[in-house]
Amino acid sequence: MHVRPLLISLLICFSFLRIPLHGIDADSGTWSNWRGPLYNGSAGSDSSLPSDFGPNHGITWKISLPGASAATPIIGKEQVFLSSLDLKASSDGKRGTLLAMCLDRKTGSILWKKPAGSGYRPEGEGYEHQLDSKSNYASPSPVTDGRRVVFFFGNGDLVSYTLEGKEEWRRNIQRDYGDFCFQWTFSSSPTLYGNKLFLPVLQRNEKVHGRGKNKAESFLLCMEPSTGKTIWRHVRPSTARKESLESFGTIIPRDGQLLVAGGDVLTGHDPDTGEELWRWGTWNPGHKQEWWRLVPSPVVGSDLILVCAPKKAPVYAIRTGLSGTHSGSNGLAWNTADQPNLSSDVPTPLYYREKFFVLSDVRKVLSRIDPKKGKMEWELNLPGKYKWRSSPTAGDGKIYLMNHNGEVLVVSTEKGTILNHAKMGDSYDDNTRSSIALAGNQVYVRTNKILYCIE
């Protein structure tokens, strides 16, 4: 038997195989969840991406949308999935109909559109306060594993469809576990990982605007993707108070763990049981701040986990590989307390090409950080009067971000210079919230009224 030729043949065959670890392959030119195939805001390949485009040039296709949403487009191999709101189908013109949409990736044509909402209304006099003026129930991003797509909405509706648009199952998390206790519209996105579906509900422990209940628990939920049935529910305690208990971040998987930020702490959990493996905190000593809701999700890179404290507070870099409970400098690699421009209230940071990138919406600055020292390597003052709050994404040496007015910046990752400033939204838009998705050699920009595909 010729062992060496056989071995060489096998190696060649395996070199061409692309085996996804958890659902869609990171190198298949997809954007399967709101932070992308690597869960850090970066594209899963080095495909060439465009920088020269605008609302009237460089566009492959565009489609008008039925309503605004902060949900990021989710890109499968052949389809684009969108959460949306249809105000025209609403009886009062305000609440709208929740939609699950699927588009053809090549043409932008609608393959299917489903009214996904159950019409569930929380009990109590504070129902109308559940919808704040800056958001709506369609704000969470859907997620796909290449076999199905799961949509979550801020009223608690969780719905799974096949890629062909057949409903697999549905449930309402508020109906199952009690009405949410949030000051603002709940908008965490679900996570598919290791053939499990995860959702965090980190909420305050007392009624707010007459809604919810006192002694409400914050918890992590794990479900079977094909049926929606609960596998486990893990109560996640915190000594934070009032709004500081609330988190709108998403569970980030990393190295066989689930990373969760909220309630003034960062925790790691076992995906099979929900058991808390470690905890670090707090960025709120003495829990003096009662109004520090958390929006950014954690991001991992260079053996560090970045977590952003709210408002103008610092960014903290926590070492991976922790176990047990830690606080202060124990487990902390560095923080940006001496660099006030390095902070983020809303956008989740980006990790790309062994660098962290932090978008400070409160300072209007984009910065690159050296992970080893935690020091800024360059910073870019952002133009215009509108807030830059979409979470930055990157590929092909370029960073993509968008402000509330639908203005898109393309920035060089090496020099921090602006390569393009494209005004993709309407003149008077003031609440564009979606992040930009990258898949293959395509860029997807969602404004309040239009989805653009650029390549």
Q: How many other CB atoms sit within 10 Å of the CB of residue 354?
A: 10
Residues 273 and 328 in one domain: yes
Residues 203 and 283 in one domain: no
Residues 337 and 352 in one domain: no
One DSSP character per residue, 33-91 reads STTTTTTSSB-SS--------BTTBSEEEEEE-SS---PPPEE-SSEEEEEEEEGGG-S
Q: How many other CB atoms sit within 10 Å of the CB of residue 399?
A: 26
Which residues neighbour 407 within 8 Å (Cβ) at sequence distance 6 or greater? 383, 384, 386, 421, 422, 423, 424, 425
Residue 108 within a domain: no
Residue at a domain's end among 209, 235, 261: 235
Q: What tens digit of pLDDT does each residue of 76-126 get?
A: 999 999 999 997 765 544 568 999 999 999 999 999 999 999 988 776 555
Q: What tens digit of pLDDT does each residue of 297-334 get?
A: 999 999 999 999 999 999 999 999 999 999 999 999 99
- To the question of pTM greater than 0.85 for the whole model, the response is yes
Range of the domain at 170: 116-235
Q: What tens digit of pLDDT does each residue of 375-418 get?
A: 999 999 999 999 999 999 999 999 999 999 999 999 999 999 99
* CATH code assigned at 138: 2.40.10.480
Distance between CA atoms of residues 232 and 6, nearest Å: 46
pLDDT at residue number 429: 87
Residues 412 and 357 in one domain: yes
Residue 44 within a domain: yes
Which residues neighbour 452 within 8 Å (Cβ) at sequence distance 6 or greater? 55, 59, 61, 62, 424, 443, 444, 445, 446
